[in-house]
Amino acid sequence: MTSRGDSGIIVEPVARLIEELGKLPGIGPKTASRLTFFLLRAEEGQSRTLAQAILDMRERVTFCTRCFNITVGDLCLICQSQSRDQSKICVVEEPLDVLAIERTGSYRGLYHVLHGHIAPLEGIYREDLKIDQLLARVRSEPVDEIILAMNPNTEGEATAFLLLRDLAPLGVRVTRPARGLPTGGDLEWADPDTLSSAMEGRREL
């Protein structure tokens, strides 16, 4: 079979891979095409290794039963660590935000991943996030401080406000990273120095 693309006739397996790669965030049609033809020219083992890595990730990786970060067991490596400060929980939107903060080396507490933010226009509401699980942790664990490290944009602010309202009756200290982070940006794109300063200079809410 063949499929007609912008640059002429493309055989179906190639066109299909370009289409699938183009569905990934940040990958446009040109980048998808370049990646596809790179894999086409690469040694067969490289393509098989990539395909197997994707399959292994889908089959083995799950979410931590405590903080909902990624893991291959019941608890993630951070929750398993005895050296982490058990009295602090940093609340983030996505697992990528955990990686961004960990790269700074300035935070040694625990995390809680919400898996999203409040966005009614996108059909994302409170019950779609891991908020009730966070509140249960605050009630049952020796938590002194909750750090609301939402992305500094409209959705992140709305999510932080909702969390502050839910956490207030529990009597726990609630803080946010300092405003060294650019408004409208995402944590995963912040450089380590900026993010480290924001975490160290967090303010109480």
pLDDT at position 2 over 50: no
Q: Residue 48: CA atoms inside 13 Å, Cβ hemisphere, count?
A: 3
Rg (CA), the chain: 21
Q: What is the pLDDT of residue 3?
A: 44
pLDDT at position 58 over 60: yes
Give Cβ neighbours of residue 42 (< 8 Å, ≥ 6 apart).
none
For residue 202, give the amino acid letter: R
Domains of the chain: 2-60 (1.10.8.420), 80-204 (3.40.1360.10)
Q: What is the pLDDT of residue 10?
A: 83
Q: How long a stretch of residues is the chain?
A: 205
Helix/strand/coil for 204: strand
Kindly provide the b/e burial profile for residues 142-152, where b requires at least 16 CB atoms within 10 angstroms of the residue's own CB: ebebbbbbbbb
Tokens 């999510």 -> residue: 159
pLDDT at position 6 over 90: no
pLDDT in tens, 121-165: 899 999 999 999 999 999 999 999 999 999 888 899 999 999 999
**The whole model's pTM is what?**
0.77
Q: What is the pLDDT of residue 193?
A: 64
CA gap 188, 108 in Å, rounded = 18
Q: What is the pLDDT of residue 181?
A: 55
Tokens 């750090």 -> residue: 147
CA gap 130, 136 in Å, rounded = 10
